[in-house]
Amino acid sequence: MEIKKKLSEWKKGNPIKKFRKDKGLSQPDVASLLGVSTYTVQRWEDGSVNPSGDNENKLNELIVGFGDEWKDWKKKKPTV
């Protein structure tokens, strides 16, 4: 499987994206709930940055088991 497809599949497992889709929320909705920009939510969902500090705490309150799910998801990131 080519790396682009592997990355696409990996991104689908993002716990923030899965939560958002399950609840029928948009990225701006989640951004508003957490008090961050839509761009921040986009970067979290594509795995380019990790939520930290207050944002990580807010995500832990919003998504049951977020911390462990995030760590597991990040470990599975495909490499070239």
Does residue 27 contact residue 45 with C-beta atoms inside 8 Å? yes
Class for domain 3-75, per CATH? mainly alpha
3 burial type by CB count under 10 A (0-12 exposed, 13-18 middle, 19+ buried): exposed
pLDDT tens column, 11-61: 999 999 999 999 999 999 999 999 999 999 999 999 999 999 999 999 999
Domain ranges of the chain: 3-75
Q: Is the pTM of the predicted complex or chain greater than 0.75?
A: yes
Q: End-to-end alpha-carbon separation of the chain, Å? A: 11
Rounded distance between C-alpha atoms, residue 44 and residue 59, angstroms: 11
Helix axes 15-23, 38-45, angle to 10 degrees: 120
